[in-house]
Structure 1
Amino acid sequence: MAIKGLFVRTDPQRRRYGVALLVGVLSGIISAFVKWGAEVPLPPRTFSGGRDEFNPPYIFLRDYLGIDPTQTVYTFSEHIINPVMVTHIIFSLVFAIGYCVVAEIFPKVKLWQGILAGLIVTVAVHGIFCPALNLTPPLTQLPFDEYASEILGHIFWFWIIEIMRRDLRN
């Protein structure tokens, strides 16, 4: 398939943007939990250099939004929870809604049940944007463990978004 084939558009009469938005919200919330679950057996940060303590969402909140994540903790089931994870839900919502809307226009974004989109997001976010914003070191300075965790996590993340999009839209 040529690159040109990736940008084939659906018939505008078949597009359902309202459904895409609703499905994007639902799949964004649920897929955030899938992404977190992937990080349990494969933690995305190493302990060396404080990478586990100061992860990209923490640094983003602190340096770009002026929110001190250490001051915004809450307790649930006797566990102290740092709501930095809220940024993951927000990111998940943004990407899921964006994916579902783009899928209405460009059906090829759904290649490999969304896995291709997950890989593209991995490269764009962790390979370009995070280093450019100084949220992470350049990819050349990260251990393989972080790549493996993020790649697998993004594959599962977008796969569940696509499964939900496909089933709820149809």
Structure 2
Amino acid sequence: MTKFSWKNVLIAGTAAGVISGLVKLGWENILPPRTPERNKTNPPQKLLEQMGVPAKLTHATYTYSGEKLPWVSYLVHFGFSISFATAYAALLEKKVKWLTVDQGVPFGLAVWIAFHLVIMPLMKTVPSPKDQPLEEHISEALGHIAWMWTNNEIAEIVLKQLGQRKKER
């Protein structure tokens, strides 16, 4: 049994969070969770505005290939993804099986329920669950499954590789 390593957890969580964040963005291109009107100010932008960050900053973009892309939203998106992937990697490293069961699928659904159905609606960042379209629930639930499954797979691989290197020394 290897000793718990925060360094390994941070490396695995960062790698998993970046890759799973890309997976979630790709997922949302295939099954957009929000209507174009509701996406004019997306949840990360709205949350930051609720915290007093001016819309001029929350809606700041960079241009790539002729597309205006919301870099501030991406910072929040990847920050959230890396944070949860790191917490999940710590659970994997500590071998907390009841929270990491089934490749993280229940964990991903729990994050969706907690944030999209409870916390953000209570904060008025997104509408009440009953006022969200069915398409949003489907996209977000399935997207969170794909996101956390990716976190699980990448974190497991990285932790295993880092553990093997540690044993070789």
Smaller-chain TM-score bracket = 0.7 to 0.9
Percentage of pairs with the same residue: 31
- Of 37, 47, 51 in structure 2, the residue corresponding to residue 64 of structure 1 is 51
User: Residue in 1 aligned with 2:10?
Assistant: 21
Output the CA distance in 2 between the equivalents of 1:66 and 1:129. 19
Question: Is 1:152 the equivalent of 2:139?
Answer: no
Question: Is 1:133 the equivalent of 2:120?
Answer: no
The two structures have a TM-score, normalised by structure 2, of: 0.85
User: Within 5 Å, which residues of 2 pair with 1:71-150?
Assistant: 72-83=60-71, 84-105=73-94, 106-150=96-140
Tell me the SS of whatever aligns to 2:29.
coil
Superposed CA deviations along residues 128-163 of structure 1, whole A, max 9, x for unmatched, are 111111101111111110000001110010001000
Judge which range, 22-31 or 76-85, deviates more. Answer: 76-85
- Displacement of 1:114 in angstroms is 0.9
Unpaired runs of 5+ residues, structure 2, are 161-169
- Displacement of 1:65 in angstroms is 4.4
User: Residue in 2 aligned with 1:4?
Assistant: none
Output the CA distance in 2 between the equivalents of 1:108 and 1:150. 23
Output the CA distance in 1 between the equivalents of 2:132 and 2:114. 16
* Aligned alpha-carbon RMSD (Å): 1.6
Tell me the SS of whatever aligns to 1:45.
coil
AA in 2 matched with 1:82:
P
- Displacement of 1:14 in angstroms is 4.0
- Displacement of 1:168 in angstroms is 1.3
Contact 1:17 1:104 in 2 (8 A): no
Output the CA distance in 2 between the equivalents of 1:79 and 1:55. 17
AA in 2 matched with 1:29:
V
User: After TM superposition, which residue ranges in structure 1, 4 or more long, deviate above 3 angstroms?
Assistant: none
User: Residue in 1 aligned with 2:167?
Assistant: none
Contact 2:104 2:149 in 1 (8 A): yes
Unpaired runs of 5+ residues, structure 1, are 1-10
Output the CA distance in 2 between the equivalents of 1:91 and 1:66. 18
Superposed CA deviations along residues 40-60 of structure 1, whole A, max 9, x for unmatched, are 11101024xx31212211101
AA in 2 matched with 1:108:
W
